[in-house]
Amino acid sequence: MAALGTLAVVTPVLAACTSAETVQPAPSATDPGCAQVMLDLPKELDGLEKRTTPSQATAAWGAPARIILRCGTKDRGPTSDPCTTVGEVDWVSTEESETKWRMTAYGRVPGIEVNLDTEHVSSSNVAEALAEAVKNVPAEKKCQEAPR
């Protein structure tokens, strides 16, 4: 019986060691289309463990977070930013700073964006690993090649 009492005390202490990553939810985070995306996200991404986030339709990997995903973002209109198809998902990439990039799953409503630190993770690995979850939101548009 003493062993059970010790376990009860240790469990809350261990749970307190992992802090949640604060992530601002997207404007349409409550969109039902985000539910299956969130359920299908990988537990590990490019070698980083998934962390708890208190906001709906958000996810983070790494401590500190090197990858942050938000579902429920606004639809992104036409852009001249680079678009790459990875795992049947069109990703528009935007450089935020030298090592910070935002990848947006193009043509999907609700929108899905991923902010990542390219000094620590590979954008192609992240895009590939997230493709199955992102495909839960059907593509309404595709990237097109710019006219020559």
Please tell me the distance from the alpha carbon of residue 89 to that of residue 128, in angstroms, as a whole number: 9
Residue 70 DSSP SS3 = strand
Please tell me the distance from the alpha carbon of residue 117 to that of residue 120, in angstroms, as a whole number: 6
pLDDT on residue 146: 54
pLDDT on residue 4: 42
Q: Please state the domain extents for the chain.
A: 22-134
pLDDT lower than 70: segments of the chain:
1-18, 145-148
Please tell me the distance from the alpha carbon of residue 31 to that of residue 34, in angstroms, as a whole number: 6
pLDDT on residue 8: 39
pTM: 0.84
Query: pLDDT, tens digit, for every residue of 127-146?
Result: 999 999 999 999 999 988 65
pLDDT on residue 18: 58
Please tell me the distance from the alpha carbon of residue 51 to that of residue 56, in angstroms, as a whole number: 13
Please tell me the distance from the alpha carbon of residue 56 to that of residue 70, in angstroms, as a whole number: 9
